[in-house]
Every structure is written in C-alpha cells, then in structure tokens.
C-alpha cells in the first residue's frame, strides 16, 4: 500500500552527498505525505529518522541530541544540523588550505 511505501521510505533516506537542506526537505516531504494519509509522524520519530540518515561526520551531534534527556523539536534540530554542516565544511576547507600551504612551503 502507499502508506507502507511512505513509512518505509521515511526510514531509508541517507544524507549522502546531498546538502543538509535537501536531505531535510526530502524527509519533510515524506512526513507531509504521511500526514495527508492520516498517518502523521510524531516529532520524536521524525527526529530519530533524520538522525538515522546522517553519516559519521555528524556522530558527535547525534550523540549529543540523543543523550541530552530532553526532546528536541524538528525545527530546532534543523537549525542545529544546518550549523553543523557549515562547521564541517569550514573544517574541511581549513584542512585543505593548511595542506596546500604545507605543500607549497616544502
């Protein structure tokens, strides 16, 4: 059935090489479709589905969110993930610059 396909597809998306915004939009669109079929996804479940699709570069944030003992809204998680993506990209950019500088001075 369509509902089963949507529920299954909510579990399967992985962020992969998508931008964080694209990944979150993909998850939200599936959740919205389920809500229209009278199978709304709870905030807690949505947070878990989103976290479950992230790669290991987000493991520190995933651990922080899952061990904090308080629930987090999908909206707040969205903000945290977008900030974390910027931080990860900045770290990669800084490493590339440092490597290039080290190579050129040798």
pTM of the entire predicted model: 0.77
Supply the pLDDT for residue 24. 93
Q: What does the block give as tokens for 59?
A: 């493991």
Give per-residue pLDDT as tens, 62-76: 999 988 877 899 999
Best CA proximity match to 34, nearest among 8, 7, 12: 7
Cβ partners under 8 Å of residue 84, min gap 6: 20, 58, 61
* Rounded distance between C-alpha atoms, residue 34 and residue 8, angstroms: 11
Q: What ranges do the domains of the chain cover?
A: 2-102
Which range, 7-11, 45-49, 87-91, is most confident?
Answer: 45-49
Give percent above pLDDT 70 in the chain. Answer: 85
**Which residue in the block uniquely carries the two structure tokens 């998850």?**
27
């Amino acid at each position: 059935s369509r509902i089963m396909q949507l529920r299954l597809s909510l579990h399967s998306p992985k962020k992969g090489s998508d931008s964080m915004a694209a990944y979150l939009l993909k998850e939200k669109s599936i959740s919205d479709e389920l809500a229209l079929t009278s199978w709304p996804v709870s905030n807690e479940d949505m947070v878990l589905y989103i976290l479950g699709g992230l790669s290991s570069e987000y493991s520190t944030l995933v651990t922080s969110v899952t061990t904090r003992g308080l629930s987090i809204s999908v909206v707040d998680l969205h903000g945290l993930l977008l900030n974390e993506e910027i931080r990860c990209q900045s770290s990669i950019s800084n490493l590339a610059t440092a490597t290039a500088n080290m190579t050129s001075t040798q």
